[in-house]
């Protein structure tokens, strides 16, 4: 026997058990540990239970384990826990698998769009709320679950809201006391013994549980006592003009002047996070050697999942950790070790104007309750400090709480899914808060124009059903179906994958010229879509050539090097490649025709026009554009390859609102194509 292995073994074993011991200790010290018995009793007693508890008290990680240990999921059934965000589902599942001492994907697993780690033996399943909605399409009774926990309900994402309405129905249909007439759409299906009753738990971090309780017919709410240390709040004297710059200054101020403890900074998205990360790394070498011990860790949705776990690892001894996070760190994931919070006071939110039919992502001030949640992150393990980067009088002007997303988003996606679930009367659906009639009508109209609905407002066959099966925005699903007819599905798959991630172009402010030169070879005079395809293909070709010469391990390194040299954001491109693989699987399963138009980009552009006719804009005499559907005046975003070319007519994929309204991701089309390919809309307009 090789002695070296034997020699290593005890050491590793000791390390391993030391970590387990620490985890067990952490588990026991959580506020929730002392109320395990009471919680289990309440769950047994109540079909719907609302659990309110401060962030970090242990709700998400512990409650599913309590229920499993108490035998609340018998006969091979599953405890499902939904999260509004995929990062939370992924990181929490990993943590819980570790706590249980099992391999991820066995007893504990997660399933999120484009990534499923569960298996037949999974009993605790973390997933996104959107994913559970999709599962209902295949299994309307959600029969494999004995308990469903809707976590982070206070976030009120559109999926959470719709899910609660659906779960209410499913629970009724699975309860033994109901007569057929009561169960709405389910009366069409014969009920069977196998549908054992379903327990529902709604979990929330905000104290106000009234809305949920009322919605579920006066359901019982239990409050878990949290542990919160005092947090000193600091405001700026005057308003900041550039909150990224202000964040940067504050990070260094804390680092140089305050005692030990990690820093959590709330930014609005991947681009901001990456830009602050870069700025810190540039400034750091200018500090004296002994002050350079800062460890920067980003966390946002599109980060590859192995990198997401880095935020939970403690910094090396002597180092201070700086976590750059989106509002995911507000309540969804609890990161240990934080003593300082920097809150610029902004969040990226969806906004929808039903009159114009346009949805956009805009950066808006947080609500008061978000600001309080953020500052609370500094006081979990001891007294902390929160630096709000705005004057105190601004705080008083903030809204008390955030408006539910269902009131400010395009509803086509949700309506398509409800229709596929057999909910035909959308206006009559039991929403916890009803979206406006105007928003519903506008989205129905959009689905009709995309061919997903019949004249009677029912799901069309096959297009509507196919669209509902794809885990994409309806407009992208339709583009793939059309591309199959236009013989350019390969090109459209790449396009949709790249449009589903943040920009793949990496343009540091101080290297604009270099970046521009590097990406010039990809740019197409026809627009951004073909430019994106060119980048994707160039990268593939390069990797293919090189992978002959080297192993998989090296491919990753070569990939990053290629991206760096070409000023491409490797994180975004990698994410897009993953998504591409997944959607390709879906369309293959659906039997769509996977062909390429080769060099015939005219064909592809016609397909873009046929797909995105709702987002067309024509040039006006003064050089701005008029969006045809909404009549809004828009401009071409400076990042577009068509910025200077200004063609007569374009289709676009995104509207960005800053001081001006910009459109992004454009392709030049012929106006006549629109009337030819989308007569259902353009004939009507004329």
Instruction: Region of 238 please: left (phi>0), alpha (psi -120 to 50) or beta.
Output: beta
Say whether residue 377 binds ligand CDP (CB under 6 A).
no
- Among ligand CDP, Mg ion, none, partner that 640 touches (CB below 5 to 8 angstroms by kind): none
How far is CA 113 from its chain centroid?
10
Region binding ligand CDP by CB under 6 A among candidate stretches 60-68, 443-451, 455-463, 497-505: 60-68
CA distance 364 to 352: 13
Say whether residue 500 binds ligand CDP (CB under 6 A).
no
Take residue 383 and report the two structure tokens written for it.
């007294």
Q: Any idea what DSSP says for residue 117?
A: -
Query: Residues in the chain, how many?
Result: 686
> How many residues form the binding site for Mg ion (CB under 5 A)?
1
Residue in the block written with tokens 């009131």: 407
Region binding ligand CDP by CB under 6 A among candidate stretches 3-11, 54-62, 252-260, 431-439: 54-62
Q: Any idea what DSSP says for residue 566?
A: T
- Among ligand CDP, Mg ion, none, partner that 247 touches (CB below 5 to 8 angstroms by kind): none
- Among ligand CDP, Mg ion, none, partner that 413 touches (CB below 5 to 8 angstroms by kind): none
Q: Which is nearer to ligand CDP, 95 or 586 (CB)?
A: 95
Q: Residue from 61, 417, 611, 667 that binds ligand CDP (CB under 6 A)?
A: 61
CA distance 64 to 561: 43
Say whether residue 60 binds Mg ion (CB under 5 A).
yes
Q: What 3-state DSSP class applies to 212?
A: helix
Q: Which of residues 73-102 bind ligand CDP (CB under 6 A)?
A: 91-92, 95
Site string for ligand CDP, 327-356 (x = CB under 6 A): -------x-x--------------------
Say whether residue 478 binds ligand CDP (CB under 6 A).
no
Region binding Mg ion by CB under 5 A among candidate stretches 53-61, 256-264, 275-283, 541-549: 53-61
Q: What is the crossing angle of helices 412-420 and 437-449, to 10°?
A: 70
Residues contacting residue 242 through CB under 8 Å, at least 6 positions apart: none
- Asked if 405 and 350 count as a contact pair (C-beta separation under 8 A), the reply is yes
CA distance 577 to 476: 17
Q: Which is nearer to ligand CDP, 76 or 336 (CB)?
A: 336
Site string for Mg ion, 4-43 (x = CB under 5 A): ----------------------------------------
* Min CB(60)–ligand CDP separation in Å: 3
Say whether residue 160 binds Mg ion (CB under 5 A).
no
> Is it true that the peptide bond before 583 is cis, omega within 30 degrees of 0?
no
CA distance 202 to 658: 37
Q: How many CA atoms lie within 13 A of 61 on its CB side?
A: 28
Region binding Mg ion by CB under 5 A among candidate stretches 9-17, 59-67, 449-457, 587-595: 59-67
Where do the H-state alpha helices sit in 109-230? 129-138, 158-174, 210-215
> How many residues form the binding site for ligand CDP (CB under 6 A)?
16
Take residue 29 and report the two structure tokens written for it.
């010290």
* Min CB(90)–ligand CDP separation in Å: 9
Q: Determine the longest span between alpha carbons in the chain, in angstroms.
A: 85
- Among ligand CDP, Mg ion, none, partner that 373 touches (CB below 5 to 8 angstroms by kind): none
* Min CB(198)–ligand CDP separation in Å: 22
Q: Which is nearer to ligand CDP, 229 or 234 (CB)?
A: 229
Q: Residue from 35, 59, 123, 390 that binds ligand CDP (CB under 6 A)?
A: 59
Q: Which is nearer to ligand CDP, 310 or 368 (CB)?
A: 310
Q: What are the Cα distances from residue 252, in Å, to 140, 224, 286, 287, 289? A: 53, 37, 12, 10, 14
Q: Name the nearest CA neighbour of 531 among 601, 612, 616.
A: 601
- Among ligand CDP, Mg ion, none, partner that 583 touches (CB below 5 to 8 angstroms by kind): none
Q: What are the Cα distances from residue 86, in Å, to 92, 116, 128, 144? A: 10, 11, 6, 21
Q: Which is nearer to ligand CDP, 90 or 498 (CB)?
A: 90
Say whether residue 314 binds ligand CDP (CB under 6 A).
no
* Min CB(319)–ligand CDP separation in Å: 18
Q: Which is nearer to Mg ion, 55 or 443 (CB)?
A: 55
Q: Could you tell me the strand order of the sheet in which 320-325 lies? A: 231-235, 384-388, 338-343, 262-266, 320-325, 294-299
Residues forming contacts to ligand CDP in the complex (CB under 6 A) are 30, 53, 55-62, 91-92, 95, 312, 334, 336
Give the binding site for Mg ion (CB under 5 A): 60
């Amino acid at each position: 026997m090789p002695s070296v292995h034997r020699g290593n073994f005890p050491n590793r074993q000791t390390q391993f058990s030391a970590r387990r011991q620490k985890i067990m200790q952490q588990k026991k010290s959580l506020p929730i540990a002392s109320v395990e018995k009471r919680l289990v009793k309440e769950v047994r007693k109540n079909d719907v239970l609302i659990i309110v508890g401060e962030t970090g008290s242990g709700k998400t990680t512990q409650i599913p384990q309590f229920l499993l240990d108490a035998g609340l999921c018998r006969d091979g059934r599953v405890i499902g826990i939904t999260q509004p965000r995929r990062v939370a589902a992924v990181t929490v599942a990993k943590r819980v698998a570790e706590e249980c001492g099992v391999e991820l994907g066995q007893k504990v697993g997660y399933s999120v769009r484009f990534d499923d780690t569960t298996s037949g033996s999974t009993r605790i399943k973390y997933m996104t709320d959107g994913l559970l909605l999709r599962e209902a399409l295949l299994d309307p009774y959600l029969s494999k679950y004995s308990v469903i926990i809707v976590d982070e309900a206070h976030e009120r994402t559109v999926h959470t809201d719709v899910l609660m309405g659906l779960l209410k129905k499913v629970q009724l249909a699975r309860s033994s006391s109901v007569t057929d007439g009561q169960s709405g759409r389910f009366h069409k299906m014969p009920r069977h013994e196998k549908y054992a009753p379903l327990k529902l738990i709604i979990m929330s971090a905000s104290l106000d549980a009234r809305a949920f309780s009322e919605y579920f017919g006066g359901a019982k709410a239990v409050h878990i006592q949290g542990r919160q240390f005092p947090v000193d709040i600091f405001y700026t004297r005057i308003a900041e003009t550039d909150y990224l710059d202000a964040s940067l200054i504050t990070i260094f101020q804390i680092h140089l002047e305050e005692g030990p403890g990690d820093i959590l900074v709330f930014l609005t998205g991947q681009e901001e996070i990456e830009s602050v990360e870069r700025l810190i790394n540039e400034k750091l070498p200018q500090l004296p050697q002994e002050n350079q011990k800062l460890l920067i860790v980003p966390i946002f949705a599109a980060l590859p999942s192995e990198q997401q776990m880095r935020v939970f690892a403690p910094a090396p001894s002597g180092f201070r950790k700086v976590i750059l996070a989106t509002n995911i760190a507000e309540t969804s994931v609890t990161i240990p070790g934080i003593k300082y919070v920097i809150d610029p006071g902004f969040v990226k939110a969806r906004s929808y104007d039903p009159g114009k039919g346009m949805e956009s992502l805009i950066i808006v001030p947080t609500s008061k309750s978000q600001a309080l949640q953020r500052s609370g992150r500094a006081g979990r393990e001891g007294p902390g400090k929160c630096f709000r980067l705005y004057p105190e009088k601004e705080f008083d002007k903030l809204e008390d709480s955030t408006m539910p997303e269902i009131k400010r988003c395009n509803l086509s996606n949700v309506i398509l899914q409800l229709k596929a679930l057999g909910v035909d009367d959308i206006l009559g659906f039991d929403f916890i808060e009803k979206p406006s009639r105007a928003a519903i009508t506008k989205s129905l109209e959009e689905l009709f124009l995309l061919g997903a609905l019949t004249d009677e407002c029912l799901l069309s066959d096959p297009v509507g059903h196919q669209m509902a099966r794809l885990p994409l925005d309806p407009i992208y699903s339709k583009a793939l179906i059309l591309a199959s007819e236009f013989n350019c599905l390969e090109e459209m798959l790449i396009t949709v994958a790249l449009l589903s991630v943040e920009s793949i172009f990496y343009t540091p402010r101080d290297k604009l010229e270099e970046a521009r030169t590097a990406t010039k070879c990809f740019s197409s005079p026809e627009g951004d879509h073909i430019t994106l395809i060119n980048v994707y293909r160039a990268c593939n070709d390069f990797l293919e050539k090189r992978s002959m010469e080297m192993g998989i391990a090296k491919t990753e390194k070569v990939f990053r090097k290629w991206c760096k040299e070409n000023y491409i954001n490797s994180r975004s491109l990698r994410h897009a490649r993953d998504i591409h693989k997944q959607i390709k699987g879906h369309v293959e399963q659906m039997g769509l025709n996977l062909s390429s138009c080769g060099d015939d980009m005219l064909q592809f552009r016609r397909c873009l026009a046929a797909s995105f006719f709702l987002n067309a804009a024509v040039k006006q005499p003064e050089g701005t554009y008029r969006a045809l559907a909404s009549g809004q005046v828009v401009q071409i975003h400076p990042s577009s390859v068509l910025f200077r070319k200004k063609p007569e007519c374009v289709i676009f994929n995104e509207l960005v609102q800053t001081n001006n309204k910009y459109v992004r991701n454009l392709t030049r089309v012929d106006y006549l194509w629109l009337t030819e390919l989308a007569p259902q809309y353009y004939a009507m307009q004329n």
